[in-house]
Chains A and B, each alone.
Chain A
Amino acid sequence: MRIAPSITQRIAVSIMWTLAAVAMGVLAFIITYILWHGLPHLSWAFLTESPKSMGREGGVFPMIVGTLWVTMLAVVIAAPVGVATAIYLTEYTHEGKMTAAIRFGADCLAGIPSIIFGLFGFVFFVITLGMGLSVISGALTVALMVLPTIIRTSEEAIRAVPRAYRDVAYGLGSTRWQMVTRVVVRSALPGIATGVVLSVGRSISETAAVMLTAGSALGLPQSIFQSSRTLSLHFYILSREGISMTNAYATASVLIIAIMAINLSAYWLMRRFVGKA
């Protein structure tokens, strides 16, 4: 017996709706659960004080600073390299073995588990280059991790810029460099920014790679050459070693709120400046 198309349609829609609802529900549940357990312990003191007795007491101020440093450095290193690579791939070279190789490499890099990046960072930055367990080793490692994302999203964004813009820019007598910087990158900015924001989120939440490269020192880092524990690693250690579940949840809440705040403000900035520009 054949089912009427309208019924198939209804079934398909309800299945998709259910699956989407499940996905959203799980997400909402996780976030609510963590905030539920963490928010009551959040206080100004928690954000501004140093941890005491391994984090059982006190706050997470040094971890906030460490996280900011690692994330900012990682993105500041990865974004220019990634965007430049994307520009090179799309505007300065014809498709060929070379571009295919770079793209393949980037895709492989994107699929490698972060613990392996951590191991590489440990061997290369920490030991071989002698940077030790430090903010800079962690940032460089995380930069490598997010590089493929930035390359790929920027590349997509640049490719989506209409060819006509390039024709016009040349038509008005621009050099390739003027065309790229003033027209292509400008038009692709929303897409490029999306990639960068994604990698900020990833840098903030990265745990395994920074454990092996930035270390887990509890103190406030005095320079980027000192070890520093990030928020996510702090959370991991607090819960893993059963030091304090309440403080672990509070730390996780800080992380979640920070990531949501970053995404929201990036979204707002993009709507405000790029959409209209």
Chain B
Amino acid sequence: MTAIQKTRPARAEVKIRSEKLNLWYGSFQALKDVSISIRPRCITAIIGPSGCGKSTLLRCFNRLNERIGGVRIEGEIHLDGRNIYESGMDLMQLRKRVGMVFQRPNPFPLSVSDNVLYGPRVHGITDRALLEQLVESSLKATDLWEGLKDQLHRSALELPAEQQQRLCVSRLVAVEPEVLLMDEPCSALDPIATERIEELMQELASRYTIIIVTHNMQQAARVSQDAGFMLLGQLVEAGPTPTIFTNPSDQRTEDYVTGRYG
């Protein structure tokens, strides 16, 4: 892979912006007044101790939380300036634009190509040539094509974990999303696989807006341009990653990034 040449978008550019986002699981408030701006074609890392609401926040960006009973949400999230919580929002369309990669690689128990094509098929694409082309381009986007092009009909469950996780990214790429949400995408992988997935994320960042939740501070520092620190449902601080890690303005952030708790 050649080095990725790109100009970072200006600070003022915003892909996603949450505004005073509050979320309750029943009577428990998991998010408190979270306001954060996400720049396009950047990697934004969300860090914070276990249970602080990172996954919950992430799942708000594609409205996946509403599937759980008893969830109440207040506030707004703007995607390209439009509030995704306004009534009349097409959820299928939203989730196509904002895709999610989970902690454990979770390919469907289908073949490699059926995994990649799940999304396109759901969206009604039936043209064979187009589907074949999508398999190729989506697998190429995650550097799986060379290794798997002769095994497209093999069960995805037989692949090693790293390839499974890449396949999950391919599966998203196939529906041409704009935003990739990644909830601890490397925590089930070994260090070498982790490094390679991080490289993949760097590559993908030239085309997609990426938000990654991670427990691994080194990882956040390595891959992200922006970072947000959460604690007990609040966004304590957000800004450029170097600032968050070396010169945070909040004492709690400093305590966390220096490993004093969490």
Binary per-residue interface labels of chain B (216-230) against chain A in the complex, 1 for a CB within 8 Å, 0 otherwise: 000000000000000
- The B-contacting residues of A in range 162-189, CB under 8 angstroms, are 162, 164-175, 178, 182-183, 186-187
* A277, CB-defined interface residue at 8 Å: yes
* A2, CB-defined interface residue at 8 Å: no
| Given A187-B109, A277-B110: A167 and B122 interface contact (C-beta under 8 Å) | no
Contact A164 B67 (CB under 8 A): no
Instruction: Kindly provide the distance from the CB of A23 to the nearest chain B CB, expressed in whole angstroms.
Output: 33
Instruction: Kindly provide the distance from the CB of B249 to the nearest chain A CB, expressed in whole angstroms.
Output: 35
* B30, CB-defined interface residue at 8 Å: no
Pick the residue among A164, A171, A182 that contacts B95 (CB under 8 A). A171
Contacts of A168 on B, CB cut-off 8 Å?
Answer: 100, 102, 106, 108, 168, 171
- In the bound complex, CA of A178 to CA of B122 (Å): 7
* A94, CB-defined interface residue at 8 Å: yes
- In the bound complex, CA of A186 to CA of B121 (Å): 16
| Given A172-B118, A172-B175: A167 and B64 interface contact (C-beta under 8 Å) | yes
Contact A173 B96 (CB under 8 A): yes
- In the bound complex, CA of A249 to CA of B92 (Å): 61
Interface size on B, residues (CB 8 A): 27
- In the bound complex, CA of A153 to CA of B100 (Å): 31
Binary per-residue interface labels of chain B (41-73) against chain A in the complex, 1 for a CB within 8 Å, 0 otherwise: 000000000000000000000101001010000
Contact A173 B95 (CB under 8 A): yes
Contacts of B93 on A, CB cut-off 8 Å?
Answer: 173
Binary per-residue interface labels of chain B (88-124) against chain A in the complex, 1 for a CB within 8 Å, 0 otherwise: 0000110110011010101011110000001101110
Contact B122 A174 (CB under 8 A): yes
Contacts of A186 on B, CB cut-off 8 Å?
Answer: 108-110
* B35, CB-defined interface residue at 8 Å: no
| Given A94-B69, A276-B155, A277-B155: A172 and B96 interface contact (C-beta under 8 Å) | yes
Residues of B within 8 A of A (CB): 62, 64, 67, 69, 92-93, 95-96, 99-100, 102, 104, 106, 108-111, 118-119, 121-123, 155, 168, 171-172, 175
